[in-house]
A = this chain, B = another copy of it.
Amino acid sequence: MDNKIKIGICGYGNLGRGVESEIAKNPDMELVAIFSRRGGNLPSGAGGNPPMVHIASAPEWQGKMDVMILCGGSKSDLPSQGPEFARLFNTVDSYDTHAKIPGYFEAVDSAAKAGDHLSIISIGWDPGLFSILRLYAGSIIPDGKTYTFWGKGVSQGHSEAVRGIDGVEGAIQYTIPVDAAMERVRSGEAPELTTREKHTRVCYVAAAAGADTKRIENEIKTMPDYFADYDTTVHFISLDELKKDHAKIMHGGNVLHTGETGVGNTQGIEFSLKLDSNSEFTASVLLAYARAAYRLSAKGERGARTIFDIPPIMLSPQEPDELVKELL
Protein backbone atom coordinates (compact mmCIF):
# COMPACT_ATOMS: atom_id res chain seq x y z
CA MET A 1 0.00 0.00 0.00
CA ASP A 2 1.54 3.31 -1.06
CA ASN A 3 -0.54 5.71 0.93
CA LYS A 4 -0.47 4.40 4.45
CA ILE A 5 -2.18 6.32 7.22
CA LYS A 6 0.61 8.00 9.18
CA ILE A 7 0.11 7.55 12.91
CA GLY A 8 1.78 9.30 15.84
CA ILE A 9 1.60 8.13 19.45
CA CYS A 10 1.63 10.66 22.25
CA GLY A 11 2.33 9.09 25.64
CA TYR A 12 4.34 5.92 26.12
CA GLY A 13 2.74 4.08 29.03
CA ASN A 14 0.77 0.83 28.74
CA LEU A 15 -1.69 2.29 26.26
CA GLY A 16 0.98 3.86 24.02
CA ARG A 17 2.90 0.60 23.99
CA GLY A 18 -0.34 -1.18 23.10
CA VAL A 19 -0.87 1.11 20.09
CA GLU A 20 2.75 0.50 19.07
CA SER A 21 2.30 -3.28 19.21
CA GLU A 22 -1.10 -3.39 17.46
CA ILE A 23 -0.33 -1.01 14.62
CA ALA A 24 1.41 -3.89 12.85
CA LYS A 25 -1.97 -5.66 12.59
CA ASN A 26 -3.21 -2.82 10.38
CA PRO A 27 -1.34 -2.99 7.06
CA ASP A 28 -2.85 0.32 5.91
CA MET A 29 -1.11 2.22 8.74
CA GLU A 30 2.44 3.15 9.68
CA LEU A 31 3.89 4.53 12.88
CA VAL A 32 5.76 7.79 12.28
CA ALA A 33 6.92 8.83 15.74
CA ILE A 34 6.33 8.37 19.46
CA PHE A 35 6.10 11.50 21.60
CA SER A 36 6.83 11.36 25.30
CA ARG A 37 7.82 13.66 28.13
CA ARG A 38 10.90 11.52 28.53
CA GLY A 39 11.91 12.40 24.99
CA GLY A 40 14.66 10.56 23.18
CA ASN A 41 15.87 8.62 26.21
CA LEU A 42 13.61 5.63 25.70
CA PRO A 43 14.35 2.60 23.56
CA SER A 44 11.63 2.25 20.95
CA GLY A 45 10.35 -1.08 19.65
CA ALA A 46 12.59 -1.12 16.60
CA GLY A 47 15.81 0.54 17.84
CA GLY A 48 15.16 4.18 17.11
CA ASN A 49 12.76 3.56 14.27
CA PRO A 50 10.22 5.07 14.69
CA PRO A 51 11.95 7.93 16.49
CA MET A 52 11.18 8.78 20.12
CA VAL A 53 10.61 12.52 20.31
CA HIS A 54 10.21 14.88 23.22
CA ILE A 55 6.62 15.97 23.45
CA ALA A 56 7.67 19.66 23.31
CA SER A 57 8.79 19.12 19.70
CA ALA A 58 5.38 17.89 18.56
CA PRO A 59 4.47 21.15 16.77
CA GLU A 60 7.41 20.58 14.39
CA TRP A 61 5.69 17.37 13.24
CA GLN A 62 2.61 19.10 11.87
CA GLY A 63 1.85 17.89 8.36
CA LYS A 64 4.05 14.82 8.85
CA MET A 65 1.30 12.59 10.21
CA ASP A 66 -2.38 11.96 9.58
CA VAL A 67 -3.59 11.12 13.08
CA MET A 68 -2.04 11.53 16.52
CA ILE A 69 -3.28 8.98 19.03
CA LEU A 70 -3.29 10.53 22.50
CA CYS A 71 -2.39 7.84 25.03
CA GLY A 72 -2.09 9.99 28.14
CA GLY A 73 -4.26 9.70 31.22
CA SER A 74 -7.62 11.39 31.69
CA LYS A 75 -6.72 12.93 35.02
CA SER A 76 -3.59 14.95 34.35
CA ASP A 77 -2.64 14.60 30.64
CA LEU A 78 -5.67 14.82 28.38
CA PRO A 79 -7.46 17.88 29.84
CA SER A 80 -4.62 20.02 28.45
CA GLN A 81 -3.18 17.74 25.73
CA GLY A 82 -6.56 17.03 24.11
CA PRO A 83 -7.25 20.63 23.05
CA GLU A 84 -3.54 21.46 22.47
CA PHE A 85 -3.01 18.59 20.08
CA ALA A 86 -6.38 19.03 18.37
CA ARG A 87 -5.02 22.37 17.13
CA LEU A 88 -2.01 20.63 15.57
CA PHE A 89 -3.25 17.25 14.34
CA ASN A 90 -6.27 15.05 13.79
CA THR A 91 -6.51 13.19 17.10
CA VAL A 92 -8.12 10.22 18.77
CA ASP A 93 -8.14 9.79 22.56
CA SER A 94 -9.61 7.67 25.33
CA TYR A 95 -10.74 10.43 27.69
CA ASP A 96 -12.90 8.68 30.29
CA THR A 97 -13.68 11.07 33.15
CA HIS A 98 -17.36 10.69 32.51
CA ALA A 99 -18.77 13.72 34.31
CA LYS A 100 -16.35 16.03 32.51
CA ILE A 101 -16.83 14.73 28.96
CA PRO A 102 -19.22 17.54 27.85
CA GLY A 103 -16.68 20.24 28.83
CA TYR A 104 -13.82 18.27 27.31
CA PHE A 105 -15.81 17.85 24.10
CA GLU A 106 -16.33 21.63 23.86
CA ALA A 107 -12.65 22.40 24.44
CA VAL A 108 -11.46 19.86 21.85
CA ASP A 109 -14.16 20.92 19.38
CA SER A 110 -13.11 24.58 19.45
CA ALA A 111 -9.42 23.72 19.20
CA ALA A 112 -9.92 21.25 16.34
CA LYS A 113 -12.01 23.77 14.40
CA ALA A 114 -9.42 26.50 15.01
CA GLY A 115 -6.66 24.18 13.81
CA ASP A 116 -8.69 22.80 10.89
CA HIS A 117 -8.63 19.25 12.24
CA LEU A 118 -10.92 16.38 13.24
CA SER A 119 -10.80 14.79 16.69
CA ILE A 120 -12.62 11.74 18.02
CA ILE A 121 -12.77 11.72 21.81
CA SER A 122 -13.50 9.11 24.50
CA ILE A 123 -12.71 6.02 22.42
CA GLY A 124 -12.16 2.59 23.95
CA TRP A 125 -14.59 0.06 25.32
CA ASP A 126 -16.29 2.02 28.13
CA PRO A 127 -16.66 4.79 27.18
CA GLY A 128 -16.60 3.40 23.66
CA LEU A 129 -17.99 0.14 22.35
CA PHE A 130 -20.21 -0.30 25.41
CA SER A 131 -21.60 3.20 24.81
CA ILE A 132 -22.68 2.48 21.23
CA LEU A 133 -24.17 -0.84 22.28
CA ARG A 134 -26.23 0.97 24.92
CA LEU A 135 -27.31 3.41 22.19
CA TYR A 136 -28.20 0.73 19.62
CA ALA A 137 -30.08 -1.37 22.17
CA GLY A 138 -32.07 1.49 23.69
CA SER A 139 -32.98 2.93 20.27
CA ILE A 140 -34.21 -0.41 18.94
CA ILE A 141 -36.11 -1.63 22.03
CA PRO A 142 -37.20 1.64 23.70
CA ASP A 143 -39.50 -0.18 26.13
CA GLY A 144 -36.58 -1.75 27.96
CA LYS A 145 -33.77 -1.27 30.41
CA THR A 146 -30.01 -1.33 29.91
CA TYR A 147 -27.51 -2.68 32.44
CA THR A 148 -23.72 -2.56 32.35
CA PHE A 149 -21.64 -5.06 34.30
CA TRP A 150 -17.85 -4.86 34.46
CA GLY A 151 -15.36 -7.67 34.96
CA LYS A 152 -14.03 -10.05 35.74
CA GLY A 153 -11.18 -7.61 35.53
CA VAL A 154 -8.47 -5.59 37.13
CA SER A 155 -9.40 -2.10 38.28
CA GLN A 156 -6.22 -0.02 38.28
CA GLY A 157 -7.72 2.70 40.44
CA HIS A 158 -8.84 0.27 43.11
CA SER A 159 -5.53 -1.61 43.00
CA GLU A 160 -3.67 1.66 43.56
CA ALA A 161 -5.97 2.59 46.43
CA VAL A 162 -5.07 -0.68 48.17
CA ARG A 163 -1.36 -0.17 47.46
CA GLY A 164 -1.61 3.16 49.25
CA ILE A 165 -2.46 1.52 52.58
CA ASP A 166 0.32 1.41 55.16
CA GLY A 167 1.99 -2.02 55.30
CA VAL A 168 0.96 -3.06 51.76
CA GLU A 169 3.88 -3.99 49.47
CA GLY A 170 1.82 -4.95 46.46
CA ALA A 171 -1.84 -5.50 45.58
CA ILE A 172 -4.28 -6.15 42.78
CA GLN A 173 -8.04 -5.73 42.79
CA TYR A 174 -10.53 -7.66 40.64
CA THR A 175 -14.04 -6.39 39.97
CA ILE A 176 -16.39 -9.36 39.57
CA PRO A 177 -19.93 -9.16 38.21
CA VAL A 178 -22.57 -11.08 40.17
CA ASP A 179 -23.81 -13.89 37.92
CA ALA A 180 -27.16 -14.13 39.69
CA ALA A 181 -27.82 -10.43 39.00
CA MET A 182 -26.99 -10.88 35.30
CA GLU A 183 -29.33 -13.86 35.14
CA ARG A 184 -32.14 -11.78 36.63
CA VAL A 185 -31.58 -9.17 33.91
CA ARG A 186 -31.48 -11.80 31.17
CA SER A 187 -34.77 -13.26 32.39
CA GLY A 188 -36.51 -9.99 31.51
CA GLU A 189 -37.38 -9.25 35.13
CA ALA A 190 -35.97 -5.65 34.84
CA PRO A 191 -34.74 -5.62 38.45
CA GLU A 192 -33.62 -2.57 40.42
CA LEU A 193 -30.08 -3.51 41.44
CA THR A 194 -27.97 -1.84 44.12
CA THR A 195 -24.23 -1.32 43.70
CA ARG A 196 -23.65 -4.21 46.11
CA GLU A 197 -25.92 -6.55 44.15
CA LYS A 198 -24.17 -5.97 40.80
CA HIS A 199 -20.47 -6.44 41.58
CA THR A 200 -18.16 -7.88 44.22
CA ARG A 201 -14.51 -6.95 44.73
CA VAL A 202 -11.62 -9.30 45.43
CA CYS A 203 -8.17 -8.08 46.50
CA TYR A 204 -4.89 -10.00 46.52
CA VAL A 205 -2.52 -8.24 48.88
CA ALA A 206 1.17 -8.79 49.68
CA ALA A 207 1.70 -7.37 53.17
CA ALA A 208 5.06 -6.24 54.55
CA ALA A 209 6.70 -8.58 57.07
CA GLY A 210 5.08 -8.06 60.45
CA ALA A 211 2.26 -5.86 59.14
CA ASP A 212 -1.12 -6.14 60.86
CA THR A 213 -3.21 -7.91 58.23
CA LYS A 214 -6.43 -7.52 60.25
CA ARG A 215 -6.01 -3.75 60.14
CA ILE A 216 -5.16 -3.75 56.43
CA GLU A 217 -8.21 -5.88 55.62
CA ASN A 218 -10.42 -3.57 57.67
CA GLU A 219 -8.99 -0.44 56.01
CA ILE A 220 -9.71 -1.91 52.58
CA LYS A 221 -13.25 -3.04 53.34
CA THR A 222 -14.30 0.26 54.89
CA MET A 223 -12.64 2.57 52.34
CA PRO A 224 -15.33 5.02 51.18
CA ASP A 225 -16.21 5.23 47.44
CA TYR A 226 -13.81 2.39 46.59
CA PHE A 227 -14.94 -0.55 48.75
CA ALA A 228 -17.46 0.42 51.45
CA ASP A 229 -20.49 -0.11 49.17
CA TYR A 230 -19.36 -3.57 48.01
CA ASP A 231 -18.88 -7.05 49.39
CA THR A 232 -15.10 -7.29 49.35
CA THR A 233 -12.90 -10.31 49.90
CA VAL A 234 -9.22 -9.86 50.81
CA HIS A 235 -6.60 -12.59 50.28
CA PHE A 236 -3.07 -12.19 51.60
CA ILE A 237 -0.42 -13.75 49.37
CA SER A 238 3.34 -13.37 48.91
CA LEU A 239 4.86 -10.77 46.60
CA ASP A 240 6.17 -13.63 44.45
CA GLU A 241 2.71 -15.13 44.06
CA LEU A 242 1.33 -11.70 43.24
CA LYS A 243 3.86 -11.24 40.43
CA LYS A 244 3.51 -14.79 39.13
CA ASP A 245 -0.27 -15.32 39.24
CA HIS A 246 -1.65 -11.82 38.72
CA ALA A 247 0.44 -10.30 35.92
CA LYS A 248 -2.32 -10.03 33.31
CA ILE A 249 -4.30 -6.81 33.27
CA MET A 250 -7.40 -8.64 32.10
CA HIS A 251 -10.80 -7.03 31.95
CA GLY A 252 -14.15 -7.16 30.24
CA GLY A 253 -17.83 -6.87 30.93
CA ASN A 254 -21.36 -7.10 29.62
CA VAL A 255 -23.96 -4.67 28.35
CA LEU A 256 -27.41 -6.22 28.69
CA HIS A 257 -30.63 -4.73 27.42
CA THR A 258 -33.94 -6.48 27.95
CA GLY A 259 -37.28 -5.11 26.90
CA GLU A 260 -40.67 -5.94 25.58
CA THR A 261 -42.45 -5.81 22.25
CA GLY A 262 -46.01 -6.70 21.33
CA VAL A 263 -47.92 -8.44 24.08
CA GLY A 264 -45.34 -9.68 26.55
CA ASN A 265 -42.61 -10.75 24.15
CA THR A 266 -39.23 -10.41 25.86
CA GLN A 267 -36.38 -9.29 23.62
CA GLY A 268 -32.84 -9.64 24.93
CA ILE A 269 -29.71 -7.96 23.54
CA GLU A 270 -26.29 -8.67 25.03
CA PHE A 271 -22.76 -7.56 24.22
CA SER A 272 -19.74 -8.85 26.07
CA LEU A 273 -15.98 -8.50 26.07
CA LYS A 274 -13.47 -10.91 27.59
CA LEU A 275 -10.05 -9.33 27.36
CA ASP A 276 -6.67 -10.75 28.31
CA SER A 277 -5.14 -7.29 27.93
CA ASN A 278 -7.21 -4.21 28.64
CA SER A 279 -4.62 -1.77 27.26
CA GLU A 280 -3.98 -3.69 24.03
CA PHE A 281 -7.72 -3.93 23.38
CA THR A 282 -8.24 -0.21 24.03
CA ALA A 283 -5.27 0.47 21.74
CA SER A 284 -6.93 -1.63 19.02
CA VAL A 285 -10.16 0.37 19.29
CA LEU A 286 -8.17 3.62 19.09
CA LEU A 287 -6.46 2.43 15.90
CA ALA A 288 -9.76 1.54 14.19
CA TYR A 289 -11.12 5.00 15.09
CA ALA A 290 -7.87 6.62 13.92
CA ARG A 291 -8.73 5.21 10.49
CA ALA A 292 -12.15 6.87 10.80
CA ALA A 293 -10.59 10.18 11.90
CA TYR A 294 -8.29 10.14 8.89
CA ARG A 295 -11.18 9.46 6.50
CA LEU A 296 -13.56 12.01 8.01
CA SER A 297 -10.84 14.62 7.93
CA ALA A 298 -10.10 13.78 4.28
CA LYS A 299 -13.82 14.31 3.55
CA GLY A 300 -13.46 17.82 4.98
CA GLU A 301 -15.11 17.25 8.36
CA ARG A 302 -13.75 19.38 11.21
CA GLY A 303 -14.21 19.61 14.98
CA ALA A 304 -14.82 17.03 17.70
CA ARG A 305 -16.80 13.80 17.37
CA THR A 306 -17.78 11.01 19.73
CA ILE A 307 -18.12 7.31 18.93
CA PHE A 308 -21.86 7.92 18.41
CA ASP A 309 -21.14 9.98 15.29
CA ILE A 310 -18.95 7.52 13.41
CA PRO A 311 -20.50 5.28 10.70
CA PRO A 312 -19.28 1.68 11.23
CA ILE A 313 -17.98 1.51 7.65
CA MET A 314 -15.33 4.13 8.49
CA LEU A 315 -13.54 1.62 10.76
CA SER A 316 -12.73 -1.03 8.21
CA PRO A 317 -9.77 -1.09 5.83
CA GLN A 318 -11.85 -3.12 3.35
CA GLU A 319 -13.64 -1.69 0.34
CA PRO A 320 -17.40 -1.03 0.77
CA ASP A 321 -18.42 -3.57 -1.89
CA GLU A 322 -16.26 -6.25 -0.26
CA LEU A 323 -17.88 -5.51 3.10
CA VAL A 324 -21.36 -5.84 1.62
CA LYS A 325 -20.43 -9.18 0.06
CA GLU A 326 -18.55 -10.64 3.02
CA LEU A 327 -20.14 -9.21 6.16
CA LEU A 328 -23.63 -7.88 5.42
Contacts and interface: CB of A to CB of B under 8 A. Distances in A.
A139 B277 contact: no
Interface stretch (A168-176, A205-213, A281-289): A281-289
Contact of A140 (B98, B269, B285, B327): B285
Given A186-B274, A274-B268, A328-B98, A262 B18 contact: yes
Interface stretch (A85-93, A158-166, A193-201, A302-310): A302-310
B316 A135 contact: yes
Given A102-B321, A270-B271, A271-B271, A280 B309 contact: no
Interface stretch (A46-54, A125-133, A224-232): A125-133
Given A135-B327, A140-B284, A327-B135, A261 B127 contact: no
A261 B273 contact: no
Interface of A is mostly: helix
Contacts of A136: 129, 312, 315
A288 B131 CA distance: 17
A283 B262 CA distance: 11
A25 B144 CA distance: 10
B267 A284 contact: yes
A25 B310 contact: no
Interface residues of A, number: 68
A13 interface: no
B262 A280 contact: yes
Interface of A: 18, 21-22, 25-26, 98, 101-102, 105, 122, 127, 129, 131-136, 138-143, 186, 248, 252, 261-262, 264-277, 280-281, 283-285, 288, 291, 306-313, 315-317, 320-321, 323-325, 327-328
